[in-house]
């Protein structure tokens, strides 16, 4: 009969298991909690950096394999928890309960940026994160329509109260202007409005705030980068060369403003005819992935052209919620996991409060 495996032996083998995104071992990252050993049965909790971890299965497999190699171990039960790291620059500059701020931009209009913003936010929420979406497209605020909300609650304590849609906090200039009213503002007014959408709103705790920017590389991007520390930026593009040229300019703008690049998303990458199943590359194919490779930034994934995404946006029923088993919903989930992984890398700091127990 083998002797009971020791805690030291278990921790020693776990120190050989690396977190795939952070490239450090689980023990030095303080990601192991609640280790229990009884009659050869080992139970432990691995604290992930995000509930949307794309490599959870790999981590579980490697943890299980490492522990089973210890003499005397007969069974392993791996549990998971998540502790999303916060971008410390945000709390250092603003008194807001937001851990990470992700800006979604495009070099030009018409590439589906707002649709991507809404569905990525919802995908992150469905994975267990606390999510807010801020509509910073001051000139064309359409996030409320896409989420089926037309008003925000009554302000409290001299602060605006975010609306709630699909479990997410939502704030937009669209709540404060008439539907057909144009917004004609110069830079200083724009700057003040965007900053107030962060500081004059009673946000609840947020793990990921998705900020939908107006298209192009104008005042809104500059204002946002100057007003709040952005954890990172995402560029949305369609595959054709014209859109990619504009996407490159958007990427260059982020870099000039010293905003870390999370990656590029290729939207409307292909269309699958529902009657024949034949695939059509209407706008070309793979251009955004090639651009990401050439520019040395992550390619987060591609999304098909699906009429249900447009219908959902018009009706306030995002495709990720309305058609959760669709190919496009699955693609959004995959990209959301890649986004979360990149944010974990950008905002990572070992958490001293996560002690090994």
What does the pLDDT average to over 57-65? Answer: 95
CATH code given to domain 88-347: 3.40.50.300
Of the pLDDT bands very low, low, confident and very high (cuts 50, 70, 90), residue 353 is very low
- In this prediction, residue 355 carries a pLDDT of 40
Whether residue 79 is predicted with pLDDT greater than 90 in this model: the reply is yes
Taking only the tens place, the pLDDT of each residue in 40-54 is 999 999 999 888 888
Average pLDDT in the chain: 87
- For 200-251, the pLDDT digits (tens) are 999 999 999 999 987 766 666 777 777 788 999 999 988 877 667 777 887 8
State which H helix or E strand residue 315 sits in: helix 307-315
Q: Are strands 271-272 and 279-280 parallel, antiparallel or unpaired?
A: antiparallel
Going by their DSSP bridges, the two strands 168-172 and 131-135 should be labelled as: parallel
User: By the 8 A CB rule, do 272 and 279 touch?
Assistant: yes
List, in order, residues 6 or more apart from 90 with CB less than 8 Å away. Answer: 96, 98, 99, 100, 101, 228, 229, 231
The DSSP line for 215-239 is SSSSHHHHHHHHHS--SEEEEEE-S
Task: With a cut of 70, say whether residue 184 has pLDDT above it.
Answer: no
Question: Each residue of 298-337: pLDDT tens digit?
Answer: 999 999 999 999 899 999 999 999 999 999 999 999 999 9
Residue 352 has pLDDT above 50, yes or no: no
Q: Given this chain, do its domains 7-82 and 88-347 carry the same CATH topology?
A: no
Give me the residue spans of the domains in the chain: 7-82, 88-347
Supply the pLDDT for residue 190: 67
Looking at residue 217, what is its pLDDT? Answer: 60
Q: How far is the C-alpha of 164 from the C-alpha of 204, rounded, in Å?
A: 11
Of 135 and 182, more confident? 135
**CATH homologous superfamily of domain 7-82?**
Fe-S cluster assembly (FSCA) (3.30.300.130)
pLDDT of 134 strictly over 90: yes
Tell me: pLDDT of 1 over 80.
no
What's the pTM value of the predicted model, to 2 decimals?
0.88
Q: How far is CA 161 from the centre of its chain?
A: 23
- Assign 189 a pLDDT band (cuts: 50, 70, 90): low
| pLDDT at residue 185 tops 80 | no
């Amino acid at each position: 009969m083998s002797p009971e495996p020791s805690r030291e032996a278990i921790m020693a083998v776990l120190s050989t298991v690396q977190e795939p995104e952070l490239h450090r071992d689980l023990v030095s990252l303080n990601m192991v909690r609640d280790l229990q050993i009884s009659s050869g049965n080992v139970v432990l909790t691995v604290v992930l950096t995000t509930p949307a971890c794309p490599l959870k299965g790999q981590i579980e497999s490697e943890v299980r394999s490492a522990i089973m190699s210890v003499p005397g171990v007969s069974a392993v039960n791996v549990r998971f928890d998540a502790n999303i790291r916060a971008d410390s620059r945000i709390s250092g500059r603003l008194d807001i309960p937001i851990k990470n701020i992700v800006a979604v931009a495009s070099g030009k209009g018409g590439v589906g940026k707002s649709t991507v913003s809404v569905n990525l936010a919802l995908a992150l929420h469905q994975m267990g994160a606390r999510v807010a979406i801020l509509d910073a497209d001051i000139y064309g605020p359409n996030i409320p329509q896409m989420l089926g909300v037309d008003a925000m609650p009554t302000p409290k304590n001299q602060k605006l109260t975010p609306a709630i849609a699909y479990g997410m906090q939502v704030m937009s200039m669209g709540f404060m202007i008439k539907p057909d009213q144009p917004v004609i503002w110069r830079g200083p007014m724009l700057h003040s409005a965007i900053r107030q959408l962060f500081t004059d709103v009673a946000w609840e705790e947020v793990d990921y705030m998705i900020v939908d920017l107006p298209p192009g590389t104008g005042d809104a991007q500059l204002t946002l980068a100057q007003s709040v520390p952005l954890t990172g930026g995402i560029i949305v593009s369609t595959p054709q060369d014209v859109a990619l040229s504009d996407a490159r300019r958007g990427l260059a703008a982020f870099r000039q403003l010293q905003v870390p690049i999370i990656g590029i998303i290729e939207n409307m990458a292909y269309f699958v005819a529902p009657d024949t199943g034949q695939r059509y590359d209407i706008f070309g194919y793979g251009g955004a992935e090639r651009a990401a490779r050439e520019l040395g930034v992550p390619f987060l994934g591609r999304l098909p052209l699906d009429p249900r995404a447009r219908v959902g946006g018009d009706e306030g029923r995002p495709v990720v919620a309305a058609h959760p088993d669709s190919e496009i919903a699955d693609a959004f989930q995959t990209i959301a996991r890649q986004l979360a992984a990149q944010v974990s890398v950008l905002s990572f700091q070992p958490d001293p409060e996560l002690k090994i127990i």
